[in-house]
Amino acid sequence: MVKKFVLVSGGVISSIGKGIIASSTGLLLKTMGLKVTSIKIDPYLNIDAGTMSPLDHGEVFILEDGGEVDLDLGNYERYLDVTLSRANNITTGKIYRDVIERERKGDYLGKTVQVVPHITDAIQDWVERVATIPVDNSGEEPDVCIIELGGTVGDIESAPFVEAMRQLQFRVGHENFALIHVSLVPTIGTVGEQKTKPTQASIRDLRGLGLTPDLIAARCEKTGLEEGIRSKLAMFCHVQPEQVLAVRDCNSVYHVPELLKEQGLIDYLWKRLNIEQTVSISPALKEKGDAMWQKWNQLTSSQERLRDSDAVTIALVGKYTHLQDSYCSYVKALEHASLACHKKLTIKWIEGSDLEPENLIANPTKYNNAWQDLRAAQGIIVPGGFGARGTEGKIAAAQWARENKVPYLGICLGLQLAVVEFARNVCGMTGANSIELDANTETPVVVYMPEISKTHLGGTMRLGLRPTEFQANTENCAIRKLYGGEATVLERHRHRYEVNPDLVGQFEAKGLSFIGKDETGQRMEIVEIADHPYFVGVQYHPEMLTRPLKPSPPFMGLIKAAAGELEKHLASL
Which residues are part of the catalytic machinery?
A: 412, 541, 543
Contact 443, 36 (CB under 8 A): no
Closest residue by Cα to residue 536 from 478, 497, 465, 490: 478
The stretches of 43-189 forming alpha helices (DSSP H) are 54-57, 72-80, 92-105, 120-130, 159-172
Sheet holding 497-499, edge to edge: 432-434, 443-448, 497-499
* 328: three-class secondary structure by DSSP: helix
Contact 48, 458 (CB under 8 A): yes
- Neighbouring-strand partners of residue 9: 181
User: How far apart, in Å, do the first and last CA atoms of the chain sit?
Assistant: 44
Closest residue by Cα to residue 34 from 298, 259, 284: 284
Residue positions counted in the chain:
573
What CA–CA distance (Å, rounded) separates 528 from 409? 10
Assign 3-class secondary structure to 215-256.
EEEEEECCCCCCCCHHHHHHHHHCCCHHHEEEEECCCCHHHH
User: Which DSSP helix (H) or strand (E) runs through 36?
Assistant: strand 36-42
Closest residue by Cα to residue 327 from 316, 337, 335: 316
What is each CA distance from 484 to 93, 481, 548, in whole angstroms?
42, 5, 19
Q: Read out DSSP for 449-501?
A: -TTS-SS--TT-SEEEEEEEEEPTT-TT-HHHHHTTT-SEEEEEEEESEEE-G
Closest residue by Cα to residue 387 from 358, 357, 352: 352
Amino acid identity of residue 126, one-letter, is W
Backbone angles phi, psi at 11, to 5 degrees: -140, 170
Contact 326, 359 (CB under 8 A): no
Amino acid identity of residue 321, one-letter, is T
What CA–CA distance (Å, rounded) separates 297 from 126? 35
- Neighbouring-strand partners of residue 434: 446
Closest residue by Cα to residue 478 from 395, 568, 418: 568
The stretches of 175-327 forming alpha helices (DSSP H) are 197-208, 229-237, 256-262, 265-272, 275-278, 283-304
